């Protein structure tokens, strides 16, 4: 293998990007694998314990190109998130296909935004792009990336931007003063997360359009619309005709996007080749720590052990060997979902999502009107209420929001509020309603999408409703599996939010992100309902405005109903033993294993 650094890659507008090119020692023409990254081509996303180094891939007879995207690290031009990566992606793929020694077939790989650069390039249908392997990335850069059902993903967006893209872009353009200030500000990120209004966020210099204008665009466009839809991969599935290998984690920030990319391509991909060659892998991982054993993850993820380690490098090689080199190795055998079942700690395989044979099961909310905290009388039962029950009430104070303890977020476990953690401290709060089943008489597998039907009213013109699915162990340990949020004004539309009428009962659907978990015999299923999850999401001020534009807040009096006319319920995808796939402690790289 030989490496050539900082090779010039010309873009159509005259901007020059830079790439490192790794060539295998062979006289034969070989395929190209391309990574387009905003995090530095020298790093190539190999840490913490994620991808193998580029020379490792080159040693398997691939010509490897690692490129800095526009305005980052060694590349020229002005950086702007999402803005240039469609055209730049097309130009880079076609340039790479024509490199000396290239067979003309190009594959792409990379995680997070480096997954987005793949989808953005794919949307433009470069002729030589043959397959992509995006990991931990979304299907929509509005919902499930910057916002979630109307709530701003505060901890992810502000922390990630300050520590990575805004800082590295400042260094790229030689703005030393701003770079130094950002480094200092990040040391106080916990304090900055409480700064409002977000449209005046000082660390990104709101009056200076050279520092981070895209951040203020994201704040200005808090509803879905043309600003966001010009980029979203979900709008382009029917134009895309290549196989895709999607990699996701149960606690990742973009889990639902990865699942949507898989299901969208299976149902709407632009060719039979594309529709029948989609594969989704979901492991017991957070956003960055999926490459264990050396990465830092939540302790409960670490305890899973080697069976939870990522198979990504070997799986990618097998995928590329098949689709770029034509080797018949069984890596693709129709649409495939490989998922890790937590609780049992095994790998399983299915042919569709949701899993065939899923039994959608209602667990109804019940109480005597005193479900506040785990000490209350909240229950989950399988029979709908047949007589009147007293509603549960609590006060939501935006100045004292419920703290985020784990969940799906980004980016690193120490500061990202992500992963599984014991929820007992949260469940002691009076503004958290807790509903729990009796100990389960048999093992129960829950795998797939989750939702909560909630009948509720508020004294405010707008508010939030949060839901969290929890596995309660016999010793009382309460482990979060996944969570969701619904901003009341966005209950019907993400593009045209409308206020609620104070005191009026509404039927809400709260989307809890998917999971796969075996609730063991003697464990209990628990649902938490509240109105905040900070700093993962921005607190709703309960005024009808939001903290992107205002600093004013007020306390909201919340009422959750669960009587015969208002059957609030947790809806779980229960997988019967007859529908559950074969379990394995070894990840099946190919369909022939």
Q: Can you give the pLDDT at residue 579?
A: 85
**Catalytic residue from among 252, 392, 396, 431:** 252
- The whole-angstrom separation of Cα 283 and Cα 268 is 25
Length in residues, the chain: 593
Cα→Cα distances 22→44, 64, 369, Å? 12, 5, 65
- Nearest partner of 84 among 157, 13, 137, 35, judged by Cα: 13
Handedness of CA 441, 446, 452, 453 (dihedral sign): negative
Asked about 566 being catalytic, the answer comes back as no
Handedness of CA 542, 546, 549, 551 (dihedral sign): positive
Residue 474: CB atoms within 10 Å: 11
Q: How many CA atoms lie within 13 A of 324 on its CB side?
A: 31
Domains of the chain in sequence order: 2-143+228-350 (3.40.50.1820), 151-221 (no CATH), 359-575 (2.60.120.260)
The stretch 496-518 carries a mean pLDDT of 98
pLDDT of 96-116, one tens digit each? 999 999 999 999 999 999 999
**Catalytic residue from among 92, 102, 112, 568:** 112
| Helix/strand/coil (H/E/C) assignment for every residue in 278-337 | EEEEEECCCCCHHHCCCCCCCHHHHCCCHHHCCCHHHHHHHHHHHHCCCCCCCCCCCCEE
Q: How many CA atoms lie within 13 A of 175 on its CB side?
A: 21
The stretch 445-460 carries a mean pLDDT of 98
Asked about 328 being catalytic, the answer comes back as no
Asked about 287 being catalytic, the answer comes back as yes
Q: Can you give the pLDDT at residue 196?
A: 98
Residue 346: CB atoms within 10 Å: 17
pLDDT of 251-287, one tens digit each? 999 999 999 999 999 999 999 999 999 999 999 999 9
The stretch 372-381 carries a mean pLDDT of 98
Burial of 303 (0-12, 13-18, 19+ CB in 10 A): exposed
Q: Is the pLDDT of residue 416 over 90?
A: no
The stretch 125-130 carries a mean pLDDT of 98
Q: Can you give the pLDDT at residue 495?
A: 98
Contact by Cβ (8 Å): 451, 510: yes
**Catalytic residue from among 205, 236, 260, 287:** 287
Contact by Cβ (8 Å): 142, 251: no
Q: Is the pLDDT of residue 291 over 80?
A: no
Q: How confident is the model at residue 462 (pLDDT cuts 50, 70, 90)?
A: very high
The stretch 416-421 carries a mean pLDDT of 86
Following DSSP, what letter does each residue of 167-204 receive, concatenated? HHHHHHTT-HHHHHHHHHHHTTHHHHTT-S-GGG-GGG
pLDDT of 52-91, one tens digit each? 999 999 999 999 999 999 999 999 999 999 999 999 999 9
Q: Can you give the pLDDT at residue 463?
A: 98
Q: Is the pLDDT of residue 435 over 80?
A: yes
Q: Can you give the pLDDT at residue 47?
A: 85
Q: How confident is the model at residue 386 (pLDDT cuts 50, 70, 90)?
A: confident
Q: What is the pTM of this model?
A: 0.97
Q: What is the mean pLDDT of the chain?
A: 96
């Amino acid at each position: 293998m030989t490496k050539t650094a900082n090779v010039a890659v010309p873009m159509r507008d005259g901007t020059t990007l830079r790439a490192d090119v790794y060539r295998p020692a062979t006289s034969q023409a070989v395929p190209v694998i391309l990574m387009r990254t905003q995090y530095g081509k020298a790093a190539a996303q190999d840490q913490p314990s994620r991808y193998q180094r580029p020379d490792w891939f080159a040693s398997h007879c691939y010509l490897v190109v690692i490129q800095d995207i526009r305005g980052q690290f060694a590349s020229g031009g002005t950086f702007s998130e999402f803005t240039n990566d469609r055209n730049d992606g097309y130009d880079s793929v076609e340039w790479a296909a024509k490199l000396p020694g290239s067979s003309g077939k190009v594959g792409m790989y990379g995680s997070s935004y480096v997954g987005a650069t793949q989808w953005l390039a794919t949307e433009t249908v470069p002729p030589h792009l043959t397959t992509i392997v995006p990991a931990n990335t979304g299907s929509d850069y509005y919902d499930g990336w910057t916002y979630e059902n109307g709530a701003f993903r505060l901890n992810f967006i502000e922390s990630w931007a300050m520590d990575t893209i805004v800082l590295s872009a400042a260094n790229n353009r030689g703005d030393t003063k701003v770079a130094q200030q950002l480094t200092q500000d990040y040391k106080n990120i916990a304090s900055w997360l409480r700064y409002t209004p977000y449209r005046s966020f000082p660390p990104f210099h709101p009056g200076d359009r050279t520092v981070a204008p895209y951040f203020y665009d994201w704040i200005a466009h808090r509803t879905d619309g043309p600003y966001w839809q010009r980029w979203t991969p979900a709008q382009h599935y029917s134009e895309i005709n290549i196989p895709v290998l999607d990699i996701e984690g149960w606690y990742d920030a973009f889990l639902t996007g990865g699942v949507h990319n898989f299901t969208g391509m299976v149902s709407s991909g632009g060719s039979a080749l594309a529709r029948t060659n989609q594969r989704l892998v979901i492991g017991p991982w957070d956003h960055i720590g999926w490459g264990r054993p050396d990465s830092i993850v939540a302790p409960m993820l670490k305890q899973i052990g080697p069976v939870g380690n990522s198979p990504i490098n070997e799986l990618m090689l097998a995928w590329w060997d098949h689709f770029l080199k034509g080797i018949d190795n069984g890596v693709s055998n129709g649409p495939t979902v490989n998922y890790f079942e937590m609780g049992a700690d095994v790998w399983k395989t299915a042919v569709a999502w949701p899993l065939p044979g899923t039994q959608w099961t209602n667990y109804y909310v019940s109480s005597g009107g005193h479900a506040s905290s785990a000490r209350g009388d909240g229950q989950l039962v399988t029979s709908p209420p047949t007589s009147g029950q007293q509603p549960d009430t609590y006060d939501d104070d935006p100045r004292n929001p419920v703290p985020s303890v784990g969940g799906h977020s980004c980016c690193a476990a120490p500061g990202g509020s992500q992963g599984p953690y014991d929820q007992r401290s949260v469940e002691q709060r009076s503004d958290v309603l807790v509903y729990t089943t009796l100990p389960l008489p048999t093992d129960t597998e829950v795998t797939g999408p989750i939702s909560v039907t909630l009948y509720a009213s508020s004294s405010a013109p707008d508010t939030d409703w949060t839901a969290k699915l929890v596995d309660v162990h016999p010793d009382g340990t309460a482990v979060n599996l996944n969570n969701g949020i619904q901003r009341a004004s966005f209950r019907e539309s993400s593009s045209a939010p409308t206020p609620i009428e104070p005191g009026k009962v509404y039927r809400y659907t709260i989307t809890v992100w998917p999971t796969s978990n075996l609730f063991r015999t003697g464990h209990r299923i628990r649902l938490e309902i509240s109105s905040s999850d900070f700093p993962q999401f921005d607190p709703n001020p309960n005024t009808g405005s939001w903290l992107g534009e205002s600093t004013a807040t007020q306390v909201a009096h919340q009422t959750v109903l669960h009587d015969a006319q208002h059957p609030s319920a947790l809806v779980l995808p229960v997988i019967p033993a007859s529908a559950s796939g074969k379990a394995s402690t070894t990840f099946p790289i190919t369909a022939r294993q």
